Amino acid sequence: MTTPGRKALLTVLVVLISAWVLFPIILIALASFTTRTQLYAWPRSLVPSPFSAETMRFFVQAQDVLQSLLNSLLVAAMTIVLAVLIGAPAGYALSRFRFGGKEVFRLGILGTKMFPATILAVPLAVSFINWNLYDTLLGVALVHTTLALPFAVVITTSVFVGVPFELEEAAMTLGCSRAQAFRKVAMPIALPGLAAAAIFTFVLSWNEVFAATILTLRNRTLPALVMNAVGLAGAPIDYRFAGGFFMIIPALIIIFVIRRYLLTLWGVTVR
């Protein structure tokens, strides 16, 4: 039973934790809207006045930023296409069939999820040079797909489990072949779930730093670009602030949009 004391404790905790999460984001937003000169000024007030988009504009116009933004989007798009095209059939197979080796495959996928896969970018860098994939967006997309594939398989399995096989059977009695039944009945119903898998894959690819940094030289994604600028060249604070804010915007928007499915999505992917 919730006594007033416990309720107070609960409220305090909730407020504290929420503030702790939101505070840094608000700070970096504030920083991004401060003019460049003000950022370097000392002392200054916490709240910028005036609000200015100067810093952000500076970042976007900085060397290669726009291009790397585009690259990130391209890589994410390629990753989504690959991960869904490759993973969805496997998810369908796992949801519908009983066959020899099913458990082995399942465990394999689980093992892949729990593996430090980004580290594999190091040996892959060598292979990619031989395969002409080094410093290409496709190369990065392939590594991102490797990261996303286990999740795509798990998500699509659960999605297709939620589509009763009887629906496809009914379609077959009405004249469909197996493939047609899948296309006309299973796919449309599974689409929202597949969209969820796509969104998850996007966030994963957009945020990935290590592999993108190792595998690219000139065709950098946004994280790789910023990483390089910060890690090796020691970028100035206005660059860092705006860069940081910029990088988190898409993910923030996406998490907000899918907030209702958040739990099912993440809960499912890691079970």
Q: Pick between residue 176 and residue 195 the one whose CB is nearest to other proteins.
A: 176
Alpha-carbon radius of gyration of the chain: 23
Half-sphere exposure of 64 (CA within 13 A, CB side): 15
Half-sphere exposure of 212 (CA within 13 A, CB side): 30
Among the listed residues 50, 63, 97, 103, the single contact to other proteins using CB under 8 A: 97
Among the listed residues 40, 51, 70, 183, the single contact to other proteins using CB under 8 A: 40
Q: Site residues for other proteins, window 191-210 (CB under 8 A)? A: 203, 206-210
Among the listed residues 4, 5, 50, 175, the single contact to other proteins using CB under 8 A: 175
| Burial of 249 per CB tally in 10 Å (0-12, 13-18, 19+) | exposed
Q: Site residues for other proteins, window 211-230 (CB under 8 A)? A: 213-214, 223, 226-227, 230
Give least dist CB 135 to other proteins, A.
13
d(CA 94, CA 102): 7
Structure-token match 């399995």, residue found? 157
Task: Give the contact letters, 113-152, x = binds to other proteins (CB under 8 A), - = no.
Answer: xxxxxxxx-xxxxxx--------------xx-xx--x---
- The residues, any chain, with a CB within 8 Å of residue 188's CB and separated by 6 or more, are none
Among the listed residues 53, 57, 66, 188, the single contact to other proteins using CB under 8 A: 188
Q: Site residues for other proteins, window 49-78 (CB under 8 A)? A: none
Residue 257, interface with other proteins (CB under 8 A)? no
Residue type, 59: F
Among the listed residues 76, 78, 80, 90, the single contact to other proteins using CB under 8 A: 90
State the maximum Cα–Cα separation within the chain, in Å, rounded to a whole number: 77
Residue 87, interface with other proteins (CB under 8 A)? yes
d(CA 216, CA 224): 8
Q: Which residue stretch of 44-52, 59-67, 73-81 sits at the interface with other proteins (rule: CB under 8 A)?
A: 44-52
Q: Which residue stretch of 54-62, 71-79, 95-103 sits at the interface with other proteins (rule: CB under 8 A)?
A: 95-103
Q: Pick between residue 67 and residue 228 the one whose CB is nearest to other proteins.
A: 228
Q: Site residues for other proteins, window 149-168 (CB under 8 A)? A: 149, 153, 164, 166-167
Q: Which residue stretch of 18-26, 53-61, 64-72, 73-81 sits at the interface with other proteins (rule: CB under 8 A)?
A: 18-26
Size of the site for other proteins (CB under 8 A): 110
Q: Pick between residue 66 and residue 170 the one whose CB is nearest to other proteins.
A: 170
Structure-token match 């910060």, residue found? 230
Give least dist CB 116 to other proteins, A.
5
Give least dist CB 67 to other proteins, A.
18
- E-strand ranges in the chain read none
Residue type, 116: P
